[in-house]
Amino acid sequence: MFGGTQVLINGPCFNSTNLIICDFDGFETSGRLLEDEVALCVSPTFYKVGQITLRVSLDDGLTFDFTGLFTIISVEDVPDGVFSSVTESNQKESDFEITWNTDALESVDEVDVVVYGYREDDYVEFSGPLVIVAQGVDYRVGYHSVSGLLDPQIHFDVGVIGVIESNGQGENSLGGGQECCYGDDGMIINIVDSLGGGFNHRYHHGGVTPYGAPKKVPYMSHYFVDILPWTYCCTYGGPDECTNFARRRPSQTCNNYVPPALALGSGDPHISTLDSTTYTFNGHGEFTLLNALNDIFILQARAAPLVGTSDATVFVAMAVRFGDSDVIHVQTNERRVLDVYVRLAGDGQNFTRIEFDQASRWSYSGVSVTGRNITSDGIIVSFDGGVGLNIKAFEGAMSIFLVAPDSFRGLTQGLMGTWNGNASDDFLTPQGSILSPDLTTEQLHYQFGLLWEIGAAKSVFYYEPGKDHEFHTNRHYIPVFEPVANPSVDQSLVVEVCGTNPFCIFDYQTTGSQSFAQNTVKSLVQYQQAVDNRASFVSCPSLPAPAKGRAIVATYKAGGVARFVCDASFELSHVVNLTCQSNGTWSHGDIPTCMGDASGQTKTTPSRTGTPLVLSRPAIIGIYGGTVIPIGVIVLVVILICRPKKRPPSSRKVNPSTDQAEVQENPKNGHA
């Protein structure tokens, strides 16, 4: 988003006479030739995220005959390449150290360290350089100590903030958001009790479309109006300032919370519906997992035989769309575990693979996709409408965990069932017939599961070249319905591992894999625990704190006890402990007041539960085409400005941290 990304361009045949110009959605930058088939351009600064058109000219901007796509990533989602640190023993505001990744830039010998500024008033401005900190710093060293940066005539702070990741709700029409932070007990941490608690955000961290205007810039508007006030009030300020902040920016509580419904498709494959009916369906093709709100929400799954066995199938891909959102397709991959593709709304069948090595979180229209540690944590797909999906893969089989909002209640159909609190009608066919929950696996296969096969016209899947809906469909496939003892498996191990769990036994006998069966059990246990926690959840609301005091609450769950304390030199009017009751209300009792002469009294900072986030001075550090950037208020950005060196083409290496774009002759689009 800050720009400065080195974009390698291949596709056209370049020659030494070409004058290369790159047009990034209307912003032109000069490029240079690296090899006969590779050119380089540096991206400009943007105040938005998402995909834009990248056009390339070979004649100094007279014509742009080559076109590709370039994706702008939010500053909070870009992997850290430049860092700033302030030691505990040296807390001077002007002294800190900047370090950077020496593999981040191509063909660079020296860098300049420069301070830029960012502000939002009536317009958005990224200005500078305000201060040139250092020139000609050896890029290969990877660090530079900054001392005495602050001029008495320049009033700003420089430093680094920790990255706070929001798990809050999707953006709303006003651009607000809600950050929720959880403790070890799984409960939301209240900012009244701990600095680690989340709070209401005035501006959503993902920005608001149309981007580029004040209050709508991804992350930066949120940083200005949410992160900086919290930092000054609760990190630098005293207890009164932080209490006032918490009063105006309260944490989300679980009081009156309506938990979502949960569904699961995993293993060989076994499906647990939104009303918690679990059954096995081994189709071979593409099926409707869930339609909701009269096809506004569409979730589809592709099933194919597991490699090494012809007796049963597993999920190998899923595709999902919510209303006018972009389409997300996830499929298993032998090397990367899972691959994710996105199709922009209105872009026909053009899918682009998401590169999680460039950023772990990607925002699109109506949906965001996160892939941090894909092997262990899988892929998380979050829709603005409140739907969440966690997709994982193990031994080539995909598990799909769905979290459905209350708005879906009574308006769902498909393999994941009819959600209405009545498990007896989960097997609703597309024709409207309700089948008995007592049907056998074979009966469910033919009378229910196969009926939810989708047609080619309804598919929202991505298809690799040469493959289509029919390629992935085998209507004559007959699976094993009741597994028999696998001769290659020690049957005593089946009993030891599975006990009487029918789904574990099914997977062990059909696949012959103990680890596969154990993973099936793990998924089903996690699903059931989530369902049980959902059913038993009770929480009490926040309690008002007395002036010059606070409430100490160990937990807001049923049975939790709240007590009250006063600041130094103040005393409670009376002692009272309140208990969170099973109906979600506190026991009766008057909130005490704190009495005493407040004038001239020294107040101690109250201890807070949890571990507070330790921060240094508020700023943002970035890398901009070889420039290191701190960002202050103005927010300051320290940038490394690179001084390119000439390197023979034979020694040039393409660094994986640079973006590589393939552009094609109009009108076809490539990818960037």
Output 488-493 pairs: Cβ under 8 A, ≥24 positions apart.
Answer: 488/512
Q: How far is CA 349 from the centre of its chain?
A: 25
Q: What is the pLDDT of residue 117?
A: 80
Q: What is the pLDDT of residue 81?
A: 62
Name the DSSP letter for residue 386. S
Q: What is the pLDDT of residue 616?
A: 32
Residues 511, 258 contacting (CB under 8 angstroms):
no
d(CA 264, CA 266): 6
Residues 542-552 as b/e (b if ≥16 CB within 10 A, e otherwise) read: bbebbebbbbb
Spatial CA neighbour of 392 closest among 527, 296, 500, 509: 527
* Radius of gyration in angstroms for the set of CA atoms belonging to the chain, rounded to a whole number: 29
Residues 551, 543 contacting (CB under 8 angstroms):
yes
Lookup: tokens for 193: 């009790």
What lies within 8 Å, CB to CB, of 500 at 6+ separation is none
Lookup: tokens for 622: 């970035």
Q: What is the pLDDT of residue 634?
A: 52
Q: What is the mean pLDDT of each run of 10 residues along the chain (672 residues)?
A: 83 84 94 87 89 91 90 79 50 62 73 80 76 80 67 34 33 67 78 82 83 86 88 82 86 80 94 96 97 96 90 95 96 96 83 88 89 94 93 95 95 97 95 96 97 96 95 95 90 93 93 93 92 79 85 87 91 94 90 74 37 34 42 51 50 39 44 34
d(CA 594, CA 19): 74
d(CA 558, CA 187): 12
Side-by-side strand order, sheet with 27-35 = 659-662, 6-10, 38-42, 27-35, 21-24, 50-57, 66-72, 664-665
Look at phi and psi of residue 511 and say left if phi exceeds 0, alpha if psi is from -120 to 50, else beta. alpha
Spatial CA neighbour of 166 closest among 205, 208, 216, 224: 205
Which helix (H) or strand (E) is 400 found in, with range? Answer: strand 397-404
Lookup: tokens for 132: 């040139």
Residues 563, 517 contacting (CB under 8 angstroms):
no
Lookup: tokens for 368: 């965001």
Q: What is the pLDDT of residue 346?
A: 72
Q: What is the pLDDT of residue 138?
A: 84
Q: What is the pLDDT of residue 625?
A: 42
Q: What is the pLDDT of residue 649?
A: 41
Give the 3-state secondary structure of residue 157: coil
d(CA 58, CA 66): 9
Which residue blocks in 396-512 are alpha helix, DSSP H?
441-444, 491-498, 502-511
Give the chain's domains with CATH numbers.
6-76+646-665 (2.60.40.10), 261-483+527-534 (no CATH)
